[in-house]
């Protein structure tokens, strides 16, 4: 992959919609947005984290028999999710996770759903990915189920029938395979991973990157030409920011504008209180 634009760093994020590590990275993505603006373009490549959940299950999951194996695995997965909250503070509390079952053994449906939206309504793709993470991790919905995926698509304004047609299309399957092929070609062995492109330069790195890491990588690949700028926070900039993010956490707003605590975020939100509503106590949604 090559980026001939020497004014923009392209960042390709290899991920899976179910990943807690990527959900916890959302505040750092918001910082990229507010501190770099159009100097940075973040794109998402599906990596297919769980091709078959059997690859992740252990002998102890089956100690009470196959019937209870998925109950044990989901509980263990919930603890892994909750341990990742320390990365950025994005809220994770899982007490009823039921993501995988005997007839739902892969995260591929989530990956395919993203490609379906990306093909059908590309302007909604990033919003859909965020909603899918929210539905999986915050709401603990069974997003490995096709009907739930269609519901999430409808929540971003897509017609369910249109989504399902795209979801089952050869084009979506081909697009997803292209993402998988790119991952294989680059030798990406672990998720998340990031490919930075600037001119004819490329840097591939794996693991969670915080904002400091992003700044360092962008400076390295651009020889210091692409630099962050401190964002201005006022009522207008906040309204414009929220307009792009119809669902967002207080944590992300805090990171985006370098605010000290959540109460400060709430104080700012109160200035545009007719434009949003509370969701799950930690998120706000555009009315």
Q: Which domains does the chain have, with CATH numbers?
A: 51-175 (1.10.472.60), 235-286 (no CATH)
**Pair of tokens at residue 151:** 């519901």
Q: Say which residue the tokens 């918001």 belong to.
A: 30
User: Average pLDDT for residues 122-146, to the nearest whole number?
Assistant: 98
CB crowding 264-285: b at 16 or more within 10 Å, else e: ebeebbeeeeeebeeeeeebbe
User: Average pLDDT for residues 192-210, to the nearest whole number?
Assistant: 97
Q: Give the pLDDT confidence of 26-74 residue by residue, as tens digits.
A: 999 999 999 999 999 999 999 999 999 999 999 999 998 888 999 999 9
User: Average pLDDT for residues 210-236, to the nearest whole number?
Assistant: 97
Can you give the pLDDT at residue 2?
64
Residues 6 or more apart in contact with residue 179 via CB below 8 angstroms: 45, 46, 47, 48, 111, 115
The beta-strand segments (E) located in the chain are: 9-15, 40-46, 193-198, 201-206, 247-249, 276-279, 283-286
**Pair of tokens at residue 46:** 């599906």
Partners of 3 in beta bridges: 199
Indicate if the pLDDT at residue 1 is higher than 80. Answer: no
Give the residue, 272 or 261, on which the prediction is more confident.
Answer: 261
Indicate if the pLDDT at residue 274 is higher than 90. Answer: no
Can you give the pLDDT at residue 237?
95
User: Average pLDDT for residues 95-117, to the nearest whole number?
Assistant: 97
Torsion of CA 281, 124, 146, 22, to 10 degrees: -60
Can you give the pLDDT at residue 4?
64
Can you give the pLDDT at residue 275?
77
Q: 284, 277 in Cβ contact below 8 A?
A: yes
Q: 229, 215 in Cβ contact below 8 A?
A: no
Q: 179, 114 in Cβ contact below 8 A?
A: no
Q: Give the pLDDT confidence of 144-189 residue by residue, as tens digits.
A: 999 999 999 999 999 999 999 999 999 999 999 999 999 999 999 9
**DSSP-based three-state secondary structure for 151:** helix
List C-alpha distances in Å: 264 to 248, 271, 273: 16, 11, 14
Can you give the pLDDT at residue 72?
96
List C-alpha distances in Å: 57 to 72, 82, 94: 9, 18, 19
Indicate if the pLDDT at residue 195 is higher than 80. Answer: yes
**DSSP-based three-state secondary structure for 42:** strand
Q: 141, 132 in Cβ contact below 8 A?
A: no
Q: Return the DSSP state at 251.
A: H
Stated pTM of the model: 0.96
117: how many CB neighbours lie within 10 A of its CB? 29
Can you give the pLDDT at residue 208?
98
User: Average pLDDT for residues 240-257, to the nearest whole number?
Assistant: 95
pLDDT band for 276, please (50, 70, 90 cuts): confident
Indicate if the pLDDT at residue 101 is higher than 70. Answer: yes
% of the chain beyond a pLDDT of 70:
99
Can you give the pLDDT at residue 20?
98
Q: Among 249, 106, 286, which residue's Cα sits nearest to residue 180?
A: 106
List C-alpha distances in Å: 195 to 8, 102, 207, 208, 274: 14, 35, 11, 13, 40
């Amino acid at each position: 992959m090559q980026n001939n634009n020497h004014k923009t760093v392209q960042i390709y994020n290899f991920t899976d919609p179910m990943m807690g590590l990527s959900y916890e990275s959302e505040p750092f993505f918001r910082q990229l947005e507010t501190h770099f603006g159009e100097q940075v373009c973040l794109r998402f490549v599906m990596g297919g984290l769980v091709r078959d959940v059997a690859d992740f299950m252990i002998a102890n999951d089956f100690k009470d028999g196959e019937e209870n194996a998925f109950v044990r695995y989901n509980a263990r997965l919930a603890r892994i999710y909750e341990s990742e909250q320390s990365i950025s503070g994005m809220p994770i509390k899982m007490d009823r996770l039921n993501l995988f079952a005997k007839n739902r053994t892969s995260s591929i449906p989530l990956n395919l759903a993203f490609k379906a939206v990306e093909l059908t309504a590309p302007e909604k793709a990033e919003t859909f990915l965020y909603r899918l993470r929210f539905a999986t991790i915050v709401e603990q919905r069974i997003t490995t189920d096709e009907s739930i995926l269609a519901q999430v698509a409808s929540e971003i304004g897509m017609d369910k029938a249109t989504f399902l047609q795209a979801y089952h299309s050869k084009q979506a399957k081909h697009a997803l395979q292209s993402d998988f092929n790119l991952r294989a070609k680059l030798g990406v062995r672990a998720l998340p991973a990031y490919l930075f492109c600037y001119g004819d330069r490329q840097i591939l790195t794996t693991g969670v990157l915080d904002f400091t890491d992003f700044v360092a990588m962008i400076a390295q690949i651009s020889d210091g030409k692409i630099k962050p700028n401190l964002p201005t926070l006022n009522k207008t900039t906040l309204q414009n920011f929220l307009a792009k993010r119809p669902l967002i956490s207080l944590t992300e707003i805090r990171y985006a504008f370098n605010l000290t605590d959540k109460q400060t975020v709430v104080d700012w939100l109160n200035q545009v209180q007719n434009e949003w509503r509370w969701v799950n106590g930690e998120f706000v949604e555009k009315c």
